[in-house]
Amino acid sequence: MQKTLPMLNRHDINNADPYTRPVFNKMDKLRRFCWGIAWTFLCRWTPNPMHGWRIGVLRLFGASIGHTNFIYPKCKIWAPWLLKTDDVVTIASGVEIYNPGGIFLGHHSIISQDAYLCGTTHDYNSQDFTYIAKKIIVEPYVWICAKAIVLPGVHCFEGSVLGAGSVMSKNMDSWTVYGGNPATAIRKRNAFIKN
């Protein structure tokens, strides 16, 4: 068995061990590297009220951002080209949006401090530990509270709320408040918007 310095270990697409193969191609990695540099030097240091500037940078990298969004400098967006928001959306400080499968945030939705939207998982029953990306959909008037986690493929229907520190792996019903780990329905919320 060949030994290398830990800092020189790398993924190898031709390796027989699927755990050492890369999930993403070189072009994708380069694109995300450029995005990370741009966010660090152009946005991460900016004062909180400079939402318009950060939105402009996100749009340069392919994000589809609605009007009057509030995107804070200390959030982390994995792939802006896979992010779509409607009008009046908040992505608070410390939020992490890991979106290889894409994420949609509906109008008047709020993703609070340190929440984590995780759009991928692995098939733990597969010998290859297959990487699976799924889209997360957050409809209008949804509130994902501080430190809550939304897992891959979850659809948060209109007006639903995920309580602080909760973990959601299933779809959330409209105008319903959820909490806990795993999150369960706690109560109904006033449906102030009628379809």
Residue 60 within a domain: yes
Tens-digit pLDDT profile for residues 116-175: 999 999 999 998 889 999 999 999 999 999 999 999 999 999 999 999 999 999 999 999
Considering just the CA atoms, what is the radius of gyration of the chain in Å?
18
Q: Tell whether pTM > 0.75.
A: yes
Residue 112 within a domain: yes
Residue 46 within a domain: yes
What is the number of structural domains in the chain? 1
Range with the poorest average pLDDT among 22-31, 86-95, 97-106, 166-175: 22-31
Residue 169 within a domain: yes
Residue 191 within a domain: no
Average pLDDT over the chain reads: 93
The pLDDT assigned to 86 comes to 98
Q: How far is CA 25 from CA 12, 147, 159, 174, in A?
A: 11, 31, 38, 38
Whole domain around residue 100: which residue ranges? 17-185
* C-beta separation of 152 from 167 below 8 A: no
Residue 109 within a domain: yes
CATH of the domain at 168: 2.160.10.10
The pLDDT assigned to 195 comes to 54
Residue 86 within a domain: yes
Residue 2 confidence class, pLDDT cut points 50, 70, 90: low
Q: How far is CA 110 from the centre of its chain?
A: 13
Residue 1 within a domain: no
Range with the poorest average pLDDT among 1-10, 46-55, 77-86, 126-135: 1-10
